[in-house]
Amino acid sequence: MTGPAATTAPRPTGTGPGAGHHPAPWVRTRLRATPLAALLTAVLALGTVFLATAFPRVLDRAADQGLRDFLRDRGAVATSMYASSALVGGAKTLDDDAALLAAHVGPTLAVAPGGVVYGARSGKSRSLTNPGLARPEVVDPEMGLLYVQGLREHTTLVEGRWPDAPKGGGAPVPIALVRDTATTVRIHLGDVLTTGETLQGEEPRKAEVVGILNANDRNDPYWAELSCPLQACLDFTRGKQPYAYWRLTGLVDGSALDAVQSWQTGAQDFWRIPVDVDRLRADRLDRTDRELAAYLTGNTANQLASATSRPGLQITSPLPDLLDKATARQQATAPLAAIGPAGLAGVGLVVLGLAAALAGDRRAAELRLLQARGGSRTGVVGRLLGEGVVTVLLPALLAGVLALWLLPSPRWGGAVLAGTAVALFSLLALPVRAARLWSRPRAGSNRRRLAGELTVLALTVAAVVEVRRRGVAPTGTGVDPLLVAAPLLLALTGGLLLARVQPLLLGAFARVATRRPGAIGFLGLARAARGSTEGARPSVLPLIALLLAVTTAGFGSTVLGAVDTERTHAARLTVGGDASVVVPIGVPVSEGFADAAAKLPGVRASARIWADTEVFVLDGNGSTRVFAVVADPVAYAEISRSLGRGAFDAAALSGGTGAADVPVPALVSTALARKLGPGATHRLRLPNGGELLTSTAGTVDGTPALQGDDRLFVVLPAGPAVALAPELGRSNLWLATGPVDQDRLRSLVREQIATGAERATAFPTAAGEGNDGLPPGYSVRTSAAVSAALAADPLQSAAARLFWTAVLGAGTLALLAVLLTLVRAAPERTALLARLRTMGLRPRQGLTLILIETLPQTLVAAVGGGLVAVAAVALLGPAFDLSILVGASIAPGLPVAVPPVLLPTVGLAALVSAGVVAEALIAGRRQIATELRAGDQR
């Protein structure tokens, strides 16, 4: 075809060069070009966001679980509310009032699953005069009556029948006894128990044992605070000479409440409302305190008194004091719990910044090419954000969901906020760094760096000075952010200082290496020094990450180590040594026991001691009551020296002869010496009325047999004192130093009781009660057991676990920072080694060169972190008061100690060094071989 038509005819669609061409999507192209880098970015985002989201949840869960464990360990008695009133009405009234009491418990408080335990009990016990009953000494057993709802569900009838209502008139009250009680007091089924007449002339009461029961579960909280319902309790009469007697409880039916009323005056209805500690939350303790106060003495209590028609209704509970203690302990452990996560957060931010810096450095040529071809800042940043949506946001979203799902907690705001902040930082770090390429370079970068470092230094000095000036934030104000931030600021300042000093140190080592044969050492050190002189380049960030991790670990480890040390010391002061045995009045510590105990494994020094508070010093102004100690001077001096309390020279007590006219040398407390004034001779009046002439041989601030240093006391040598007053030889205390096994010592005490203590053998059934199977009045304690009891605090354990978890995470991230730097520098280093290989460098020398170049920074950071941790303890230590963490009152301050810092420092240094060596061994040799085959392709 010819003509115009031919020239204007459209070309067929889809034909011709370039027809239908569309540019490949940027994100897909970039991800396909560098899949490994994209995968590493996604993994890093996944890990950091997961940690950021998880740790607030872990903190919340640890606080809640620590609070619940702390309260649960105190038992159902301590975590219940108790209501009582004069006995009114019958069992139906008790049921209705129990429902009212349970219904008015506030929303943050909940009744434990077992429900309210309630009933009625007689005001006092009555003596039983039946002749065949067990009497440890001369006193009749005493019995009270108890009705408790739900008895049949918690016991099993083994003999007889269940108690019911009295027949009427003067008929005996039908009661049931638990088998152990009946066996102990020698009561049998069908016995009619008769009480004696009272001083008011009331007629005797009678009770008939109609049933013998067994408790289904003796450890059931149902039986708590019910006045010896499951076994007879050994009690003592009051007075100068106490006598032992059995006290028991007869269980009655709900239809016999009139008998409970008439058994003895002062009968009461009672309700125990157990609180469900598993429903309590650490973040709602203030609200819980308010609700508890209203229930005990506030508006709720008034409403209950009106609703139950019981104006005299009284509600008490030990729970407020426990919650106060839990709050104090939680606030005491909060800084320790926060220091670890804060250090982890700092290391995580450094690693994310390092990853962005390395990525920007890796892609600098690509970004400058886009800039040269007319790419706008907005367009390039948008494309980088598009990459980040795939490599950062999607993994971050997955990490957040996993953290919220794997670590359930009622609080989620802080976790979501922390995870979102880290995700945004990860997403924006690379685009922000890339955007700087479009900015004009400004002169004076060194001045800006110096200004920034001086700003950090000023903030650190201000934080340290403020913490030392005001101390730790007072109890009740939560975590002290300044105290948590101060160690991190010190670590940051130390990192910046090391970044300045490290080139000089490595340069000096390099100059030393020039005088040694071989070029490997000099070349490696010179490259390490040159790599760290590039200012705020990415190579400085691994140093800061390592320093933050080591400083955090060393500082927190020092706190934990100081707590353990002080707790052990406090336990020894409490015991009076490493082991103590206390015996009841009238049962002396025999020489045979003392000799056998001294031969126990671990005993280094031991002494029998007579100690009493009923001793008076007579002077011209009257008499002064003192605590008197009589012991062998040599053994007691050794115990005092080992304990670090009241150390003295045994020779000071060696002047007595035992003659009546020769004063017995005595050590007196400093406070007693000030009170008595000048004059070295005084008389002591002993508990039996005798007197002893003493002379002051010296003063001491404390003594092992007495807790506290503010009491008035006197220490006498056993030899001359016992010669003049033989009753002072009846020792009632045994002390020892050394790692004594408590079970062995307790077994030895049992053997001595069985063979020598006549009074103890009168209480055969008491062996299963009370103090670890020992009869009343006996006590065996070791400092190890007391220290373990002080350490058995769930709040402290949770804080310590959280801290070490954070330290492990920080160490892992610090290792990652070093490895990222090594991977980024690998191409340049590989090319250099390949060239050196062609010049005769052997493979082993190449690996040595890599290690010399990369390990110094790791070792310098580890040593620097340890030094900064020690400096942080020295600067911030005076602000710490570890009393609550220890569990005993101690002097404020955190002592400087090298071993707690050394262990985490060496551990983290070894971890990172192992990673560096592994990278050099695994990757270096393979990359060098590849470079030799392909040549320099950069």
434: Cβ contacts below 8 Å, ≥ 6 apart: 360, 363, 367, 380, 381, 384
DSSP string, 890-938: --S-----HHHHHHHHHHHHHHHHHHHHHHIIIIIHHHHHHHHHH----
Residues 119 and 148: beta-carbon distance below 8 Å: yes
Pairing of strands 206-215, 173-178: parallel
Rg (CA), the chain: 39
pLDDT score recorded for residue 478: 58
920: Cβ contacts below 8 Å, ≥ 6 apart: 847, 850, 851, 854
Helix (H) or strand (E) segment spanning residue 73? helix 35-73
Angle, nearest 10°, between helix axes 794-838 and 540-575? 150
Token couple for 79: 């975590």
Alpha-carbon distance values, 186 to 191, 475, 574, 594, 765 (Å): 10, 55, 41, 37, 12
Q: What is the 3-state secondary structure (H, E, C) of 540-578?
A: HHHHHHHHHHHHHHHHHHHHHHHHHHHHHHHHHHHHCCC
- CA–CA separation, 720 vs 693, rounded Å? 11
Token couple for 705: 């047999």
Residue 441: phi and psi, rounded to 5, are -60, 135
- CA–CA separation, 226 vs 106, rounded Å? 26
**CA 58 to chain CA centroid, nearest Å:** 15
Return the closest-CA partner of residue 148 out of 45, 227, 238: 227
DSSP string, 471-511: -SPPTTS---HHHHHHHHHHHHHHHHHHHHHHHHHHHHHHH
What's the helix, strand, coil split of the chain in %, to 5?
55, 15, 30
- DSSP reduced 3-state for 586: coil
Residues 156 and 216: beta-carbon distance below 8 Å: yes
DSSP string, 804-840: HHHHHHHHHHHHHHHHHHHHHHHHHHHHHHHHHHHTT
Give the pLDDT means over successive 10-residue stretches in the chain (938 positions).
41 47 66 80 89 87 85 86 87 88 85 88 86 87 91 91 83 91 91 75 81 90 84 78 84 88 84 90 86 88 87 89 83 76 86 84 79 78 83 90 89 88 88 77 68 85 81 58 81 84 75 71 69 51 84 84 86 88 80 87 89 83 84 90 87 74 85 76 84 86 81 86 85 89 86 57 40 72 87 77 83 81 71 69 70 76 84 82 75 81 80 73 59 52
- CA–CA separation, 597 vs 857, rounded Å? 57
Straight-line distance from the first to the last Cα atom of the chain, in angstroms, rounded to the nearest whole number: 57
The per-residue b/e assignment along 376-400, b for 16 or more CB within 10 angstroms, e otherwise, is: eeeebbebbbbbbebbbbebbeebb
pLDDT score recorded for residue 2: 42
Residues 209 and 160: beta-carbon distance below 8 Å: yes
Find where tokens 């319902």 sit: 229
**CA 337 to chain CA centroid, nearest Å:** 10
pLDDT score recorded for residue 539: 64
- CA–CA separation, 532 vs 823, rounded Å? 16
pLDDT score recorded for residue 363: 79
The residue type at 755:
T
- Residue 631 class from Cβ within 10 Å (0-12 exposed, 13-18 middle, 19+ buried)? buried
Residues 908 and 862: beta-carbon distance below 8 Å: yes
- CA–CA separation, 665 vs 681, rounded Å? 9
Vertex 758: Cα angle to 752 and 762 (nearest 5) = 110
Residues 694 and 682: beta-carbon distance below 8 Å: yes
DSSP 564: H
Residues 117 and 148: beta-carbon distance below 8 Å: yes
Residues 152 and 293: beta-carbon distance below 8 Å: no
pTM: 0.75
Token couple for 31: 């991800």
- Residue 809 class from Cβ within 10 Å (0-12 exposed, 13-18 middle, 19+ buried)? buried
pLDDT score recorded for residue 772: 60
- CA–CA separation, 734 vs 740, rounded Å? 13
CA-CA-CA-CA dihedral for 436, 442, 444, 449, to nearest 10:
-10
pLDDT score recorded for residue 167: 80
Alpha-carbon distance values, 320 to 82, 289, 297 (Å): 13, 7, 12
